[in-house]
Amino acid sequence: MVANIRDKAAIVGVANTAFSKDSGVSELSLAVQAIKGACDDAGIHPREIDGFATFTLDTNDEIEVARALGCGDLTFWGRSHYGGGAATGSLHQAVMAVATGMAECVAVFRALNGRSGHRYSQGVSGELLTADAIHWGWYTPYGLLTPASWTAMITQRWMHRTGVTKEAMFEVARCTREYAVSNPNAFFHGQPLDRDTYFNARMIADPLQLFDCCQESDGGSAIIVTTPQRARDLKQPVVTVKGVAQASAQGQEQMTSFYRDEISDVSEHRIAAGDCYEMSGLRPSDIDAAVIYDAFTPNVLLQLEAWDFCKFGEAGDFVLDGNLRPDGRLPTNTHGGQLSEAYIHGVNGLVEATRLVRGQSVNQPGKQVDHALVTSGVGIPTGGAILGKLD
């Protein structure tokens, strides 16, 4: 029995800042720009926000954000841990607060100078004095230092088990890039990816080459979550949360769950999928479009299997049949994803999934989108959410 939150919270405003490689402003500035943009999109004043949800990784304290935005009293703030695993995790916090009445209007945000400031691709350093330093110590001495190297380990195993080749990863990279080509806010706007460029790019950590990896970006993204009753009076078509789940599976580590019986199953995504489908009363066949967390191309393939769009071992054929494309079964990462729009830790994905249900994506599929899936990171404690039109 899962929690009953279906249609108890609605997303009424969404916004991204401009994305860049050097914002020239503080992360606080990016955060408040994104939230103000989401308020404008919803037609509300920042004073109406009474709660915040973000990532433990975010550097912007809620009270700083509140003062800068000119908010009034707050009754809720909550953070979600584990990097990109917090993308739908922060939505999960907001939905719980709104559904229980702890807050009425929660801004979910993530803002980072991910290229000009702290760069995740530089890996974990020996100067970390956090509680998980000991965890990373099992990997750093050997050179297993970067997100790409941890993901590569899982990917190599999964390719061995399924026989899926890099052709499928190329299709994910190429198709995602095609969407970015027509998105003016995407870093790769107007720049398609051809086969030679993809296959000749430098190796990062075998089997991951450069274009299997997302970018590093400066930018902010935010969404406003409130009650469906209130949502009806606001500017935009109402998009509600049909299901939202967090999941950490047995033997879970951050990016390095290397001690499970099978290291390439992404069991945490299977748990989140089961819970989201049960909460929403929906099935994979009801999902019309998706924003699938793509820090690396294989992330998308493993999740297609975990979220039951195809059977284990079939994700390669699923994407090579063109199913992620605009006219395919499941148009995916229509904003250009983190591979090609910007890496905002998946919160730009919440923005895009909401736009897909509203019918406002820059690459809106021709078919009707009643339900869109959005997911969080792979290899970490994670989650997902299903958004839909208010019944």
Partner 1 sequence: MTPEEQKAFEDRIYAYVGVKVCERTAAKDAVNPAMIRHWAEAMGDTNPAYTDETWAANSRRGKTIAPPAMMYAWNQEGFTVTRGRASDPQTDMVELFNEYGFTGVLGTNVTQEYFKEVSPGDTLYLEMEIDSISERKATARGIGYFFETLATFSDQNGEKVGTQRFRVLKFIPQEQPTAATGDDKLEVPTRIPSPRGHDNGWWWQAVDEGKLLIQRCKRCQVLRHPPRPMCGECQSLEWDSIESGMEGEVISYTCLRHPAIPGYPKDPVCAVIKLAEGTNLVANIVGCDYDDVFIGMKLKGRIEQVDEKTTLPQFYPA
Q: Which residues are at the interface with partner 1 (CB under 8 A)? A: 121-126, 133-146, 149, 152-154, 156-157, 160, 202-207, 256, 258-259, 263-264
Q: Judged by CB, which is closer to partner 1: 66, or 204?
A: 204
Active site residue 139: no
Q: Judged by CB, which is closer to partner 1: 255, or 300?
A: 255
Q: Judged by CB, which is closer to partner 1: 72, or 143?
A: 143
Q: Judged by CB, which is closer to partner 1: 14, or 154?
A: 154
User: What's the 3-state SS for 240-286?
Assistant: EEEEEEEECCCCCCCCCCCCCCCCCCCHHHHHHHHHHHHHHCCCHHH
- State yes or no: cis peptide before 284, omega within 30 of 0: no
Q: Give the distance from CA 314 to its chain's centroid.
A: 23
φ/ψ (deg, to 5) at 102: -65, -25
Nearest approach in angstroms of CB 57 to partner 1 is 20
Catalytic residue among 82, 120, 198, 293: 293
Nearest approach in angstroms of CB 7 to partner 1 is 39
Closest-CA residue to 33 (of 56, 21, 14, 16): 16
Q: Judged by CB, which is closer to partner 1: 264, or 332?
A: 264
Nearest approach in angstroms of CB 339 to partner 1 is 17
| AA letter at 82 | Y
Nearest approach in angstroms of CB 141 to partner 1 is 5
Spatial distance between the Cα atoms of 323 and 327, rounded to a whole number of angstroms: 8
Nearest approach in angstroms of CB 274 to partner 1 is 23
Q: Judged by CB, which is closer to partner 1: 122, or 200?
A: 122
Active site residue 293: yes
Nearest approach in angstroms of CB 316 to partner 1 is 18
Q: Judged by CB, which is closer to partner 1: 117, or 123?
A: 123
Spatial distance between the Cα atoms of 198 and 245, rounded to a whole number of angstroms: 34
Nearest approach in angstroms of CB 132 to partner 1 is 10
Active centre residues (catalytic): 293, 343
